[in-house]
Amino acid sequence: MINNSPFSLCTDIGYFSVNKHDEQLCGDHVELIEQDENSVVFVLADGLGSGVKASILSTLTSKIISTMMANAMSVEECVSTIAATLPVCEVRKVAYSTFTIIRITNNTEAEIIQYDNPMVILLRDGKNFDYPKTSTVIDGKTIYRSKIPIKLDDTFITTSDGAIYAGVGQSLNFGWQRDNIIEYMEDIFDREYTAKALAGMLLDECVRLYGGVPGDDTTVGVLKIREREQVNLMIGPPSDPADLKKMQTLFFSKQGKHIVCGGTTSTLTAEFLGKPVIPCLDYISPDIPPMAKIEGVDIVTEGVITISKVLEYAKDYLDENKLYDNWSVLPDGASCIARCLFEEATDINFYVGRAVNSAHQNPNLPITFNIKMQLVDELSKCLKQMGKKIKVSYF
Amino acid sequence: MKNISICVGSSCHLKGSYKIIEMAKEFIANHNLEDKVTLGGAFCLGRCTDGVTIKIDDEIICGVCPENFQQIFEEKVLNA
């Protein structure tokens, strides 16, 4: 079952920024380019100063570098292009943006190229790993380069200098040094945490040290090497009842967790498996219908209402991430599906039945066939934005 | 022993399964029926247009709402 080939690994990426207080724009910028399924270029740039000027510098820098790197051009070319392109600051007479590039190739090797940002921290098996670096001078800039074969759970943590200044003169005398960040991350590290969760925790700590008033733009990016994890979700019976057996057989032949949504769908699944559906009566929250149990299925829930809630969580997760504290812990159907899809899964197969539930075609009910199809569409879009590989099959 | 299942499928949920479950729990407690009645959920009893649907033993009762709840439960559960 366990495939040791590098292609069973993938890179989970999460990053967050906060602006220097009273600034509307962030002077840090992250660019991400996926070269193919197994290769990605991540660039974090920190523009000189703050506000508009810094934002322009870092946006240009990260866009130029990520595009050039993704097109296999050398670092030398990237650096000289940036030097020739960036507008020169009137006050300081320099064009300047620091940057960190992390390129994961074929999910086997990480190439790190660093210019003047705090050095990337690599946690291997949850402990700080001192990776080799070589320095090169390009256009008068000292650039550190490393090439590291990657391992499962390797976690690359990159920050802008706002992170290490956190707390200077406030809660700490000399700010938060790289060593303190390493200690903090080693402490909280758990292989179950997603890159997004780890990045969020580190950034929250920085903001806390700043006393809620960041003295500099602060960005945290985390790249975590994890195993691919497939999850399969079935919703709705097939439009032609003759396809039911085919749909169920295909669904259950897939590896990974199985989620079944919908009352009728669950009943049919239970019949297919020759097991009873055991509905549960506990409403965790009045607006999400209770779950059920079928032996052989990991999660059984009601259909459209639960999935609408999952979609609401997905949109929020990609946006302000305000509802994380709900779905990350609650035991209701929508939260269980959200955790499974957003955090555990890297590859998701949807099995969508297009049968029209005649009982739902009632003007008194806000459920229509179109809503169901739309929900799946929107949810797969959100999941793609989270970096998941999505396959939708209709029956 | 009576078996009562309350449908928690999409349609019945929207028509107020939650409220009916709460009322049923209260009814059972008020009349000390814990030893005589089991309360469970059902995952769609196939009567989606006229929920909330409940099943008492083998009898399916549709259109249960807070207004007729007392009457139905007194008739079918308490005095049956």
Contact yes or no for B21 and A283 at CB 8 A: yes
Which pLDDT score, from 0 to 100, does residue A173 have? 60
Of A267, A357, A366, the CB nearest to B43: A267
What is the DSSP-derived secondary structure letter of residue A93? -
Residue A3, pLDDT > 50, answer no
User: 3-class secondary structure for A263-319?
Assistant: HHHHHHHHHHHCCCCEECCCCCCCCCCCCEECCCCCEEECCHHHHHHHHHHHHHHHC
Contact A49/A160 with Cβ under 8 angstroms? no
Please give the residue that has the higher pLDDT: either A344 or A372: A344
The domain defined by B2-75 folds into: Glutaredoxin (3.40.30)
- Chain B environment of A365 (Cβ under 8 Å): 11, 14, 48-49
Which pLDDT score, from 0 to 100, does residue A51 have? 85
The domain limits of chain A are: 6-227, 230-394
- Chain B environment of A367 (Cβ under 8 Å): 10-11, 14
Contact yes or no for B9 and A263 at CB 8 A: yes
A305 touches chain B (CB under 8 A): yes
Which pLDDT score, from 0 to 100, does residue B43 have? 83
Q: State the average pLDDT for chain A.
A: 89
pLDDT tens digit string along A370-381? Answer: 788 899 999 999
Q: How many CB atoms lie within 10 A of CB A376?
A: 20
The lowest-confidence range among A109-123, A130-144, A161-175, A191-205 is: A161-175
| Residue A97 DSSP SS3 | strand
Test mutation, B3, B11, B23, B38, chain A, max A CBs within 10 A: B11
- Distance from C-alpha of A20 to C-alpha of A107, rounded to nearest angstrom: 35
How far CA B40 is from CA of A47, A67, B7, B20, in Å, comes to: 61, 58, 9, 12
- Distance from C-alpha of A264 to C-alpha of A270, rounded to nearest angstrom: 10
Residue A233, pLDDT > 70, answer yes
Residue A246, pLDDT > 80, answer yes
A6-227 architecture in CATH?
4-Layer Sandwich (3.60)
- Chain A environment of B10 (Cβ under 8 Å): 262-263, 289, 302-305, 360, 367
Which pLDDT score, from 0 to 100, does residue A82 have? 83
Residue A230, pLDDT > 90, answer yes
Contact yes or no for B8 and A365 at CB 8 A: no
Contact A82/A48 with Cβ under 8 angstroms? no
What is the DSSP-derived secondary structure letter of residue A136? E
pTM, to two decimals = 0.79
Enumerate residues 39 to 78 of chain B having a beta carbon within 8 A of any beta carbon in chain A.
39-44, 46-49
- Chain A environment of B39 (Cβ under 8 Å): 281
Which pLDDT score, from 0 to 100, does residue A129 have? 96
pLDDT tens digit string along B20-52? Answer: 999 999 999 999 888 889 888 888 887 877 879
Q: A93 falls in which pLDDT band (50, 70, 90)?
A: low
- Chain A environment of B40 (Cβ under 8 Å): 279, 281
Of B10, B42, B47, the CB nearest to A279: B42
Q: A170 falls in which pLDDT band (50, 70, 90)?
A: low
Q: A6 falls in which pLDDT band (50, 70, 90)?
A: very low
Residue owning tokens 């020759």: A274
Percent of chain A surpassing pLDDT 90:
60
Q: Answer left, alpha or beta for residue A171, where phi above 0 means left and psi between -120 and 50 means alpha.
A: alpha
